Amino acid sequence: MKPLRIALTKGRLEDDTVALLEKVGMNCDNVHNKGRKLILPIGDGSIEVVLAKAADVITYVEHGVCDLGVVGKDTILEHGGSFYELLDLGFGKCRFALAGPTGRNFFTGYHTKVIASKYPNVARSYFEGKAMDVQIIKIEGSVELAPLLGLADAIVDIVETGTTLKENGLAVIDTICHISARLIANEASLKLRKVEIECLAARMEQAKEEAQ
């Protein structure tokens, strides 16, 4: 049988997932010494790790070229998709927040508010839930610049410590939701390789709980 493939989001989520896989007893030396390789066997070779960007993890899992994936809830909320969300892995914790210039009351006034965000779908869903009509502008880089330059009234972004906001004269207005890394599964894979996938997920969940 071909190896079970798990797509990992490159960077910190990759490091945290590998640490978790090592806690369940898998040898991940190939990942630590990956060089430029992007597909790497781990453990006894029955599992392959695929390294990808966050949004691509969802794409690979949706299309079935990877059976499992580890991706942030932020990416799931922004991109959506058809897959099963199996497990909250408990790391990569942060939050989506609405933030704006310190000392201003965002919810006063009658003009249409302009919101800058790297996550327009998350922003749109939040304001629809509040029945507010806003204009959303997608920003790819440092979204904190938008209100400083007068382009937007506020931003929707991921916040960890809030230090960057504070240093740029911004403050959290409202917490939209808390986010963390999730284990997701391809729908067909979960039916065809149910025992393997559920066993791995259970071992990862146990290792997560032991680490807390």
Q: Where are the domains of the chain?
A: 4-92+180-211, 94-178
| pLDDT (0 to 100) of residue 191 | 96
CATH homologous superfamily of 94-178: Periplasmic binding protein-like II (3.40.190.10)
pLDDT at site 183? 98
For the entire predicted model, the pTM comes to 0.91
Find all residues with CB under 8 Å of 49, minimum gap 6, and list them: 5, 6, 7, 8, 18, 28, 30, 31, 39, 40, 41, 42
Q: Please determine whether the domains at 4-92+180-211 and 94-178 fall in the same fold group of CATH.
A: yes
Q: What is the pLDDT of residue 110?
A: 81
Six-digit token string for 140: 């790819």
Tokens of residue 127, six digits: 């304001």
- Spans in the chain with pLDDT lower than 70: none
Q: What integer pLDDT is reported at residue 109 of this predicted model?
A: 79
Residue 96 confidence (pLDDT): 97
Phi, psi of 187 (to 5 degrees): -65, -45
Return the CATH number of the domain spanning residue range 4-92+180-211. Answer: 3.40.190.10
209 touches 87 (CB < 8 A): no
**CA atoms of 183 and 199, how far apart (whole Å):** 13
Check residue 211 and give its pLDDT.
76
